[in-house]
């Protein structure tokens, strides 16, 4: 479904769609919650070649409030979408600004850089992407990105200890195990 949504939107280049795709990409690949996505400031983001480096300061599972580092790679298509979003949004001039949100509110095809996205707007953005791509959105919410990303990585054979690290769960976490959903043909593998 992730790949289908990306492919259906590849040639749609409006600011809002680009932002929505980037929310999907970061949430899915980074196993990020709504709260994580909404708090990302441009100054806490680095892109080094194809690697995204984020620093989160108020994550739900950051017991000691020291901040968390998240790193993941983007393939050429996903990196292209992200770079296009930065260019079209005008964020390239604000990447060091500590007051500017990466996923800002879009009104009249312009970014309100200091307006944090609400939960309902992020959810609406995801549902819109799904509906346009023909993906059933009945059971989709913002947490579906974290669940879907973890499930897909697990299906592709990523070891549990790497999933724990990437999802910022405790080693051998019961919580992480709840994110590894058994779907489709996997249910009959035994």
Lowest mean pLDDT among 25-39, 118-132, 137-151: 137-151
Q: Enumerate the β-bridge partners of residue 55.
A: 69
Of 4 and 58, more confident: 4
pLDDT at site 56: 86
The pLDDT value given to residue 187: 65
Read off the pLDDT band of 88 (50, 70, 90).
very high
- pLDDT-based confidence at residue 45 (cuts at 50, 70, 90): very high
Mean local confidence (pLDDT), 3-20: 91
Better pLDDT: 180 or 74: 74
pLDDT of residue 62: 62
pLDDT at 188: 66
- Average the pLDDT over each of 91-95, 111-115, 122-126 and give the range with the smallest value: 111-115
Mean pLDDT of the chain: 88
Q: Mean pLDDT over residues 1-24, rounded?
A: 92
- pLDDT at residue 57, rounded to an integer: 86
Render 178-189 in DSSP notation, one character per residue: HHS---GGGGG-
Q: Could you tell me the two tokens for 73?
A: 């790679």
**How far is 41 from 33, CA to CA, in rounded Å?**
15
CA distance 58 to 135: 32
């Amino acid at each position: 479904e992730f790949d289908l949504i990306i492919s259906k939107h590849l040639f749609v280049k409006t600011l809002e769609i680009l932002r929505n795709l980037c929310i999907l990409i970061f949430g899915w690949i980074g196993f990020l919650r709504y709260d994580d996505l909404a708090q990302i400031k441009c100054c806490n983001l680095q892109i080094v070649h194809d690697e995204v480096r984020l620093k989160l300061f108020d994550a739900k599972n950051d017991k000691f409030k020291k901040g968390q580092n998240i790193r993941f790679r983007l393939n050429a298509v996903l990196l292209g979408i992200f770079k296009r979003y930065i260019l079209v949004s005008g964020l390239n001039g604000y990447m060091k600004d500590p007051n500017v949100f990466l996923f800002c509110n879009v009104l009249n095809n312009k970014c309100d850089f200091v307006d944090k996205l609400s939960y309902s707007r992020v959810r609406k953005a995801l549902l819109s992407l799904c509906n346009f791509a023909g993906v059933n959105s009945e059971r989709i919410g913002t947490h579906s990105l974290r669940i879907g990303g973890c499930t897909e990585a697990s299906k592709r054979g990523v070891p549990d200890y790497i999933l724990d690290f990437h999802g910022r769960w405790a080693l051998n976490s019961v919580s992480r195990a709840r994110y590894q959903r058994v779907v489709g043909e996997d249910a009959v593998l035994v």
